[in-house]
């Protein structure tokens, strides 16, 4: 058996999320169906991190196995041909060691969240960013965000449906920057809880609007209670940027 690692880009708008669902289309299903057509047998695709409905990916990593002899470039080209016109693209394909695992070998994950801070409706980016009408103070958001960096119990920022064994995570980075009318939040950690990034972004938006202070954000964290969450941002602006591995 040969194990292939894939780098995947996708627009999350038409999908119920990454993971195969019984009630709607998923990114996993789209790639698995294409791979079955190419390889002539069913495959199971493993990914670095599941994403919710409406969340996008610029550099998701995944792997599959096959006993068919095929060059990585040919597999990538065949998958892309069959994936059209769905908004999923295989950006890279390589043979990896049998013990390499897209999820369990991953030592870091990075996300971005994009906010468009303007009154005018979104046209080209509808579903690809979160429009916030009220002016946002990106500096205050960034300074407050540093209260969340480090090792914490993130229960407040964790979905009630999260399946992680522990709410304790180490957040390595949470930076906020403004580029014109765009506010971008950069988040990095070894792993994240379900809805953690969206929940942190929602509360930072409250800080940016002057509705919360940095102390309010820290109090929500220390409450370790989902009921203390101020706001969960929509999935539209969330992007899985990259997964890192020991050999990168």
As annotated, the active-site residues are 52
Q: Which helix (H) or strand (E) holds 113?
A: strand 108-116
Residues paired with 96 in a beta bridge: 3
The dihedrals phi and psi of 115, each to the nearest 5 degrees, come to -115, 130
- Residue listed under structure tokens 């040969």: 2
Helix (H, G, I), strand (E, B) or coil at 57: strand
Dist. CA 240–CA 189, nearest whole Å: 12
Q: Are 82 and 65 in contact (CB under 8 A)?
A: no
| Two tokens, residue 73 | 């470039």
């Amino acid at each position: 058996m040969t194990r292939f690692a894939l780098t995947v880009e996708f627009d999350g708008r038409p999908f119920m999320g990454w993971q195969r669902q019984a009630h709607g289309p998923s990114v996993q299903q789209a790639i698995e169906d294409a791979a079955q057509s190419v390889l002539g047998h069913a495959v199971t695709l493993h990914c670095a991190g599941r994403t919710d409905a409406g969340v996008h990916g610029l550099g998701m990593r995944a792997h599959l196995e096959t006993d068919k002899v095929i060059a990585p470039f040919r597999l990538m080209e065949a998958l892309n041909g069959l994936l059209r016109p769905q908004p999923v693209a295989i950006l890279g394909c390589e043979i990896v060691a049998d013990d390499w695992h897209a999820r369990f070998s991953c030592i870091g994950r990075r996300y971005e969240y994009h906010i468009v801070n303007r009154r005018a409706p979104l046209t080209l980016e509808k579903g690809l960013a979160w429009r916030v009408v009220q002016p946002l103070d990106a500096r205050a958001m960034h300074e407050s965000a540093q209260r969340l960096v480090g090792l914490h119990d993130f229960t407040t920022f964790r979905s009630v449906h999260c399946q992680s064994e522990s709410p304790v995570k180490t957040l390595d980075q949470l930076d906020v920057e403004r580029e014109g009318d765009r506010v971008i939040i950069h988040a990095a950690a070894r792993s994240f809880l379900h809805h953690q990034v969206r929940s942190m972004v929602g509360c930072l938006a409250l800080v940016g609007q002057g509705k919360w202070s940095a102390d309010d954000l820290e109090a929500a964290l220390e409450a370790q209670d989902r009921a203390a969450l101020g706001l969960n941002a929509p999935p539209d602006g969330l992007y899985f940027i990259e997964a890192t591995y020991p050999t990168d």
